[in-house]
Amino acid sequence: MKTTAWIPLLIAAVLALFGSVYVVNEGHVAIVLNLGKVVRSDVGPGLHFKWPLVETAHVYDRRLQVLDAEPERYLTSEKKDVSVDFFAIGKIEDARTFYRATGGDESVAVARLAPIIRDSLRNEINSRTLQQVVSGDRNEVVARQIGTINRGAATLGVKIVDLRIKRIDLPTGGEVIEQVYRRMRAQRQQVASKLRAEGEELSQQIRSEADRQQAVILAEAERDAQKLRGEGDAEAARIYAEAYGRDPAFYAFHRSLEAYRKAFASGNSAIVLDRDDPFLKYLQEDR
C-alpha cells in the first residue's frame, strides 16, 4: 500500500514538471501570462520555466511573414480608377503589444494591418496622375508611405519591413483604357516625329557637306585645268613665236592658211575680193 501511494504523487510531479517547462525555438519569441496578466515578454530562444497552472506561455513566430491582401481600387488625381495588387512583408516587433492588441491572433493582426496599408497607398495614389501611377517608380510610391504605415503598425506590435506592389491594372471599362492607348500612341508618334526630324536634319547636313565638297573639288579641278591650259597656251605661243621668228615668210604663210581654213570652213562660203587683194596671195599661181 505504501508503494502505490507514491504513484499519484509521481504523476503529479511529472505533470508539474512538464507544465513548468516550455521551449522557444530560434526565430520565435514568447510571453508569459500570470492569471491573464503579462509578467514576462520578449522571451528569447531556449528552454524556460514557468509556474505550472498559474502561468501560461505563448510563443510567436517573429520571422518575416508575407501579409497578402486583396487588390484594392483607388482614384488617381484625375479621378480615374486603378486596381492595385500589393503585399507586405512584416514581423512581430513587440510581443507584449502584439498580444494586447490582437490577443495573439495573427489573422486579427492581418485584418487590422490591411486598412492601414490601403489608406496609406490611397493617399499616395490620390496625389498622382494615371500615367505617374502606371509608368512611374513604384519603389518611390512605397518609400514615401512606409514610415506612415509603420506608425500605425506599431500599435499592433508589428513592423512592416517592405511593401511591394505586384500589379497595377486599369479598370475593365473601355473609356480609361482607350484614353491610355491614345496617350501612348501620341507619345510614340511624338518620338517617331522627333526621330524623323533628326534624321532629316542629319540628311540635310550630309547633303550640304557633299554639295560643298563637290563644289570645292570642281572649283579646284577647273582652277588646275585653267592653269594647265594657260601654261600650255603660253608654251605653244612661245614655240610659235620662236618658230615664226626664225622664218617670217613661213609665219605669214601659216597665218594665211589659218585664215583660209576659217574662211572656207563651212564649204559653202563665197568671198568677193579684188584679184590683187593680198588675201589671195597664196591662191594665185606664180606668174
> pLDDT tens across 73-107, in order?
887 887 777 778 888 888 888 888 888 888 888 88
Same domain? For 98 and 143 the reply is yes
Same domain? For 12 and 33 the reply is yes
Same domain? For 207 and 265 the reply is no
User: How many other C-beta atoms are found inside a 10 Å radius of the C-beta of residue 56?
Assistant: 16
Per-residue pLDDT, 247: 67
Same domain? For 160 and 179 the reply is no
Domain of 273, in residue numbers: 257-287
144 within domain boundaries: yes
Number of domains forming the structure of the chain: 4
Query: Is beta strand 72-75 parallel, antiparallel or unpaired with respect to 65-68?
Result: unpaired
Same domain? For 162 and 214 the reply is no
Residue 259, pLDDT above cutoff 80: no
Same domain? For 82 and 51 the reply is no
- pLDDT grade for 40, boundaries at 50, 70 and 90: confident
252 within domain boundaries: no
- pLDDT grade for 287, boundaries at 50, 70 and 90: very low
With both helix axes pointing from N to C terminus, report the angle between 95-102 and 106-126 in degrees, rounded to the nearest 10. Answer: 90
Give the mean pLDDT of 147-163. Answer: 86
32 within domain boundaries: yes
- pLDDT grade for 29, boundaries at 50, 70 and 90: confident
Contact 20, 51 (CB under 8 A): yes
Same domain? For 216 and 268 the reply is no
Which residue is it, cell 514538471?
17
251 within domain boundaries: no
Best CA proximity match to 156, nearest among 252, 213, 78, 90? 90
pTM equals: 0.50
Per-residue pLDDT, 217: 92
Q: Distance (Å, rounded) from C-alpha 64 to C-alpha 92? A: 8
Same domain? For 181 and 166 the reply is no
Instruction: Return the SS3 of 229.
Output: helix
Contact 232, 225 (CB under 8 A): no
Mean predicted lDDT score pLDDT of the chain: 77
Same domain? For 236 and 277 the reply is no
Of the residues 140, 171, 202, the one at which a domain ends: 171
Same domain? For 69 and 57 the reply is no
Q: Across 57-71, 118-132, 195-209, which has the greatest mean pLDDT?
A: 195-209
Instruction: Return the SS3 of 60.
Output: strand
Query: Is beta strand 21-24 parallel, antiparallel or unpaired with respect to 81-92?
Result: unpaired
132 within domain boundaries: yes
Of the residues 61, 77, 105, the one at which a domain ends: 61
28 within domain boundaries: yes
Residues in a beta bridge with 180: none
Same domain? For 143 and 192 the reply is no
11 within domain boundaries: yes
Of the residues 11, 43, 61, the one at which a domain ends: 61
Write the CB contacts of 250 (distance below 8 Å, at least 6 apart in sequence): 243, 244
Residue 112, pLDDT above cutoff 70: yes
The grid coordinates of residue 262 equal 576659217
Which residue is it, cell 491594372?
169
Per-residue pLDDT, 285: 53
The grid coordinates of residue 156 equal 499592433
